[in-house]
Amino acid sequence: MTSVQAAVTEPWEASACVVCGDTAAVPSLAVPHAEAPGGRSAIVRCRSCGLRRLDPRPAPSHIGRYYAADHNAFVGRRRGARTQALWELLRDAGSGWRGSSRTARLLAPLLAPLARHVFDVVVPLDARTGPRVLEVGCGYGDLLVYLRSRGCAVLGIDLDARAAAAGRALGLDVRVGTLGAAALPAASVDVAVLCHSLEHVPDPKAELRELARIVRPGGRLHIAVPNADAATWRAEGAAWEHVSPPLHFWFFDAASLTRLLHDAGFQPRRPAAATNALRLARRFARELRTLGPSLAARRLLRPWWARLTSGAGGDVLRVVAVRRPPAGSPSGS
C-alpha cells in the first residue's frame, strides 16, 4: 500500500481520490515516464473506494506539453464527402432526426443499433426544436458541427488553443480555458457533453458540479470515459490504448462515476459499457499492417473472448444523466 508523497512538486504533482478524498492507495499498474519524479508514475487504486487514478501526474499548468500537434482533438475533419455523408446518415439514425430524407428515415430502424456501436455519445434530436448544447473538451468540434447543422445552438470549451482554432475554422464558437472560467449563466443549456474528456480533468467533482449549475433542471448530461472494468485492459495491461499516460488522470468504473454524478446533482441512468466498433476496426487495420493477419486477430480476439467469458464490460463507459431539480424547489422536494 502506498500514499501520496507530499514532496512531489510541479511540474508533476501527487493526487488524491476525487470520490472520497483518500490519499492512500494500492499500486495497480506501473506507467514509467521519463519526466515523472524518479521516472516513475503509476495507476493506483484508492484504498477506500476503489477508484483508479494516475499518481503522480502532470500539474495543470504543465499538461499541455504532452498533447502532440497531431492529436486528434486539433486536426479537424479529414473525411471525404462520401464518407461524411454516410457518417451523418448514421448520426441521424442514432439521434432520431426526422428532418432527413425519406430514404434515410426508412433506413433509420436498421442503422440506429449500429450507431450505438459506432458513437460513444448520441444526442437525441427533434426536428421541431434544437436544444442548446455545450461540449466541454470539444476539440475541433466534430459533434458540434453536426448538431449545429441539425438546428441546435452549440458552444464548445477546450483548454487548448489549437483545438479552439480548428473549431473556429469550422465556424464554431469554441472558448479557450476551463469550464469554471467560462462563467456561463445558470440553467443556460439543455444538453452537456463530456466525450472522453472527464478523465483528463484534474478535478472531475468540481467539473460536474459546475455543469449541474449550467444544465437546466431536466436537462441531460452525456458522458463517455474509458471503462476501468474493461476486459481489454485486464488482457493488455499498460498496452491498452486508453491508459494513455500521462494524459488520462482518472479511470472510472460504473460505481465511481455514478457516485460522482449523484453527488453533483444528476440522476444517472444505468451505465452501459461498449466497445466502439469503428475504433476497433481502425485498430485491427493498423495492427494488420504491422503484425500480420494471425497476430492481429489474436491481439483483438483474446480480449473479446475474455469479455465474453468474464461478463466484463467493453472499453468505453457511457452514461446519460438527468439534472435533478435543485434541493428545495417545488419539483425537487
| pLDDT (0 to 100) of residue 2 | 45
Q: Identify whether 19 is part of a domain.
A: yes
Set of cell numbers at residue 318: 457511457
Our count of domains for the chain comes to: 1
| pLDDT (0 to 100) of residue 7 | 46
| pLDDT (0 to 100) of residue 135 | 98
Set of cell numbers at residue 115: 450507431
Do the beta carbons of residue 122 and residue 94 sit within 8 Å? yes
| pLDDT (0 to 100) of residue 330 | 64
Q: Identify whether 9 is part of a domain.
A: yes
Set of cell numbers at residue 249: 488522470
Per-residue pLDDT of the chain (333 residues; tens, 9 = 90+): 444 444 445 699 999 999 999 999 999 999 999 999 999 999 999 999 999 999 999 998 888 888 877 777 777 778 889 999 999 999 999 999 888 778 788 888 889 988 888 899 999 997 667 899 999 999 999 999 999 999 999 999 999 999 999 999 999 999 999 999 999 999 999 999 999 999 999 999 999 999 999 999 999 999 999 999 988 888 788 888 899 999 999 999 999 999 999 999 999 998 887 766 566 666 656 655 565 666 656 565 555 555 544 445 788 999 999 999 987 666 554
Do the beta carbons of residue 157 and residue 137 sit within 8 Å? yes
- Judge residue 279's burial from the number of C-beta atoms within 10 Å of its C-beta, 0-12 exposed, 13-18 middle, 19 or more buried: middle
Residues 6 or more apart whose CB falls under 8 angstroms from that of 166 comprise 73, 74, 75, 76, 139, 140, 141
Q: Identify whether 40 is part of a domain.
A: yes
Q: Identify whether 182 is part of a domain.
A: no
Q: What are the distances in angstroms from CA 303 to CA 43, 73, 217, 251, 311? A: 20, 27, 40, 18, 12
| pLDDT (0 to 100) of residue 327 | 73
Task: Count other C-beta atoms under 10 Å from residue 137's C-beta.
Answer: 22
| pLDDT (0 to 100) of residue 309 | 43
| Rounded Cα distance, 22 and 251, in Å | 16
Q: Identify whether 31 is part of a domain.
A: yes
Q: Identify whether 11 is part of a domain.
A: yes
| Rounded Cα distance, 141 and 135, in Å | 8
| pLDDT (0 to 100) of residue 10 | 64
Q: Identify whether 258 is part of a domain.
A: no
In the sheet where 24-30 sits, what is the strand order? 2-3, 24-30, 42-46, 52-55, 250-251
Name the residue range of residue 50's domain: 2-66
Do the beta carbons of residue 90 and residue 143 sit within 8 Å? no
- Judge residue 96's burial from the number of C-beta atoms within 10 Å of its C-beta, 0-12 exposed, 13-18 middle, 19 or more buried: middle
| Rounded Cα distance, 245 and 33, in Å | 8
CA angle 111, 318, 94 (to 5 degrees): 20
Q: Report if pTM > 0.85.
A: yes
| Rounded Cα distance, 115 and 311, in Å | 23
